[in-house]
Structure 1
Amino acid sequence: MRWAWPFATPVAHWLALLGLCAAYLQGGLQKALDFGGAVAETAHFGLHPAAPVAAAVIALELGASLAILTGRCRWLGALLLAAFTLAATFLANRFWSAPAAERFALENGFFEHLGLVGGFLLVAWQDLRSLGAGSSTPAAS
């Protein structure tokens, strides 16, 4: 497929990964720059102790994104962000128990986040598959 060549380049692949990680890079940086706000948000969702949890979220969002973008343990970063996103989705987008006026936006956000989870699972799958391509058993990295 000759027309697909611009999309099958390493630059396009990296830009796609950047797009997938963009919200986590922005969120991690925003939380780091306004740690008090991050702690308040964490407490709002009932996660305690709020300060250590907020710090862990910042480390996860930034660290896993960097792992994905640099290719170093990409599969692990992708699985961590998939698990984090799935947990956060069930915590923050509980559309089934929301008032009718809020339900549409929460339901939309819920399913958009499930799409991100799927994207991260594909990244992990692709990376693990490429790591195992050179041997008969999956490689550990």
Structure 2
Amino acid sequence: MADAMEAARHVFAAAWVQGLALLLLCAAYLQGAFDKLRDFPAAMAEMRHFGLAPAAPWAVAVIVLEVGASALILTGWYRWLGALALAAFTVLADFLADRFWTLRSPERRAVANAFFEHWGLAGGFLLVAWHDLSR
């Protein structure tokens, strides 16, 4: 068992694993920003759908946050700040977009699942910030 643990430690302590993990954590935010940039009218429609007005500045702010915080995380420059920003953004957006408690079944179950998956992402970002600040 000790040999297996040492082998796992050797693999998962590699710098590329940390880089891959951070990229995977940021992937949804980078993809979301790319989609918003590619179809800005749809990004504004999304902001209006969630009651955010005026839509254009909100859409720009979300794009800047998603790209900027991801860049901080991926480059390691103020990684903790980027991680806390995406954790807070995720929780706030979750309360805005995934209000499962207002829905009836069967839609309620799928939206509740998404709600708690987003909390898992926020927890991952909190771990990134904790790790960065505890060095």
**Could you say which TM-score interval applies, normalised by the shorter chain?**
over 0.9
Q: Distance in 1 between matches of 2:69 and 2:117?
A: 20
Residue 113 of structure 1, aligned match among 113, 118, 133: 118
Whether 1:13 and 2:47 are equivalent positions in the alignment is no
Whether 1:3 and 2:28 are equivalent positions in the alignment is no
Percent of matched pairs sharing the same residue: 62
- Quote the residue 2:92 is aligned against: 87
- Quote the residue 2:76 is aligned against: 71
What TM-score comes out, normalization by structure 1 length? 0.90
Q: Distance in 2 between matches of 1:80 and 1:46?
A: 21
The number of residues matched between the two structures is 130
Q: Greater CA deviation, 8-17 or 93-102?
A: 93-102
- Quote the residue 1:31 is aligned against: 36
Q: 1:69 Cα deviation (Å)?
A: 0.3
Residue 129 of structure 2, aligned match among 121, 124, 132: 124
Q: Distance in 1 between matches of 2:26 and 2:70?
A: 6
Q: 1:99 Cα deviation (Å)?
A: 2.2
Q: 1:16 Cα deviation (Å)?
A: 0.3
Structure 2 spans left out of the alignment, 5+ residues: none
Q: Distance in 2 between matches of 1:97 and 1:71?
A: 39
Residue deviations 1:112-131 (CA, integer Å, cap 9, x gap): 0000000000001111111x
- Quote the residue 1:58 is aligned against: 63
- Quote the residue 1:97 is aligned against: 102
